[in-house]
């Protein structure tokens, strides 16, 4: 009520009427989260402490160092300034938790005493959103069972899985079948590096839990990492108990926060490239990544831009129309990758020596959000630049709006780089 009183005194009645529905919505969500999760959350440090006390944490890899340099244009947005310089990254880790519980369509992970495992979600806002989704899909009886499960001793019941790594995605929405290509490639697959290390230390081989009906490209990536269909199972339950839940470190990537981990992402690129013939198909060295087949961040003046980039020797590709292997070859052979920012840029982990130039909408909040591709490119020892486009409709001038590109500015950027 103090919030409402302050708003009344400072902003007046009109402000209260306009914003009260959203205020109530936020308060209601917060209250629902508290009801659904009365036991709390285990963050990374607590997870490591618990598993260390039980001798169930193992570290792998070595300490690495990499440099984030300013973009080639020299313009460093405010949010990125603290990231410029040399970074030292500690080895990754993998933990084991006994008697874990999974619930909901996204198989949210809980400990035997009911706490949700933040390492599986990345951030608390993500966890809260997915927790609300999970409970919205449950019947009243199922909700009560999950809330009281740790108290009534449900964790002592028969288990559904023995040893499991949970790779059911927390990312993605209805527009991409609830799995995001970029997050899968940059966040989820690097966690599988822990499988062999965990097996070497324990003699136990974890089963990989996938979302139900995963897209073919997700299966392709698993096979190219050396896994076969006997190594995974699809999530088709509303809840389940796991005897041993294997929890590798999650190095998440988004525009608010970013966790460095060049070695694990390089491992994904190296492993997948090692299992294909990189020279089977030859591609243009100058690649324009098109989003004209996507719902958002398309190029408004695409024909004009196409003519411009072709004059500089670029060929236009829609990565989603290529096989997984050809996407790898395309980026491995590329010298320059240009195009509207999107998940396809995650393929830069396959690039050997390239300059990466994402095009951002004018509405991208450079002062408050990171440039994820700048960081990923730096982890991969690639050069980075960026271009800001415009929107013809102020209402859509946000981070996902379609983009109008000033071709004179585009030509200047390309002349400086090529």
| Alpha carbon distance 89, 111 (integer Å) | 28
Whether residue 8 has pLDDT greater than 80: no
Query: Which of 319, 268, 323, 273 is closest to 293 using CA atoms?
Result: 319
| Alpha carbon distance 115, 131 (integer Å) | 12
Of 19-28, 120-129, 134-143, 216-225, give the range with the top mean pLDDT: 216-225
Identify the H or E element spanning 30. helix 13-36
pLDDT of residue 256: 73
Span 33-52, average pLDDT: 94
**Residues belonging to the chain:** 418
pLDDT of residue 364: 77
- Tens of pLDDT, residue by residue over 15-32, are 534 453 444 344 566 778
| Alpha carbon distance 133, 126 (integer Å) | 11
Identify the H or E element spanning 288. strand 286-289
| Alpha carbon distance 174, 350 (integer Å) | 28
Span 56-70, average pLDDT: 95
Query: Which of 370, 368, 408, 372 is closest to 390 using CA atoms?
Result: 408
If pLDDT is split at 50, 70 and 90, which confidence band does 363 have? confident
Q: Which two tokens stand for residue 397?
A: 């001038």
Mean residue pLDDT across the chain: 89
First to last CA, the chain: 59
Span 234-263, average pLDDT: 91
If pLDDT is split at 50, 70 and 90, which confidence band does 13 have? very low
Whether residue 395 has pLDDT greater than 80: no
Query: Given the DSSP bridges, would you call strands 64-68 and 57-60 parallel, antiparallel or unpaired?
Result: unpaired
pLDDT of residue 57: 99
Which comes out higher in pLDDT, residue 236 or 391?
Answer: 236
Whether residue 107 has pLDDT greater than 80: yes
| Proportion of the chain above pLDDT 70, given as a percent | 88
Task: Indicate the domain borders of the chain.
Answer: 2-32, 39-134+152-273, 286-417
pLDDT of residue 400: 81
If pLDDT is split at 50, 70 and 90, which confidence band does 391 have? confident
Under a CB-based contact definition with an 8 Å cutoff, are residues 113 and 39 in contact?
Answer: yes
């Amino acid at each position: 009520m103090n919030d409402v009183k302050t708003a009344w005194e400072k902003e007046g009645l009109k402000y209260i009427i306009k914003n009260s529905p959203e205020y109530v919505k936020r308060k209601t969500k917060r209250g629902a989260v508290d009801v659904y999760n009365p036991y709390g959350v285990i963050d990374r440090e607590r997870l490591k402490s618990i598993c260390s006390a039980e001798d169930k944490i193992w570290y792998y890899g070595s300490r690495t160092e990499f440099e984030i340099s300013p973009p080639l244009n020299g313009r460093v947005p405010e949010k990125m300034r603290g990231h410029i310089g040399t970074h030292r990254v500690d080895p990754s880790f993998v933990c084991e938790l006994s008697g874990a519980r999974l619930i909901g369509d996204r198989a949210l992970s809980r400990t035997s005493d009911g706490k949700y495992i933040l390492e599986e979600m990345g951030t608390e806002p993500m966890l809260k959103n997915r927790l609300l989704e999970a409970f919205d899909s449950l019947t009243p009886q199922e909700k009560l069972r999950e809330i009281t499960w740790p108290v009534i001793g449900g964790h002592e019941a028969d288990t559904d899985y023995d040893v499991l790594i949970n790779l059911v995605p927390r990312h993605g929405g209805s527009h991409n079948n609830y799995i995001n290509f970029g997050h899968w490639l940059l966040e989820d697959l690097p966690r599988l590096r822990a499988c062999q290390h965990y097996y070497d230390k324990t003699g136990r081989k974890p089963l990989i839990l996938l979302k139900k009906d995963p897209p073919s490209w997700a299966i392709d990536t698993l096979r190219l990492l050396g896994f076969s269909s006997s190594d995974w199972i699809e999530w088709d339950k509303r809840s389940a108990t796991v005897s041993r839940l294997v929890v590798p470190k999650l190095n998440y990537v988004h525009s608010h926060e970013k966790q460095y981990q060049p070695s694990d992402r390089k491992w994904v690129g190296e492993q997948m490239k090692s299992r294909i013939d990189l020279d089977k198909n030859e591609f243009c060295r100058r690649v324009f990544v098109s989003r004209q087949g996507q719902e958002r961040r398309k190029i408004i003046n695409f024909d004009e831009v196409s003519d411009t980039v072709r004059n500089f020797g670029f060929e236009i590709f829609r990565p989603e129309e290529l096989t997984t292997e050809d996407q790898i070859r395309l980026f491995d052979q590329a010298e320059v990758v240009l195009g509207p920012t999107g998940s396809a840029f995650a393929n830069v982990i396959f690039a050997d020596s390239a300059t990466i130039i994402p095009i951002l909408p004018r509405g991208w909040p450079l002062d408050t959000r990171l440039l994820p591709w700048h960081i990923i490119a730096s982890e991969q020892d690639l050069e980075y630049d960026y271009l800001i486009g415009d929107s013809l409709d102020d209402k859509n001038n946000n981070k996902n709006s379609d983009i109008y590109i000033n071709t004179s500015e585009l030509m200047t950027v390309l002349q400086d780089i090529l």
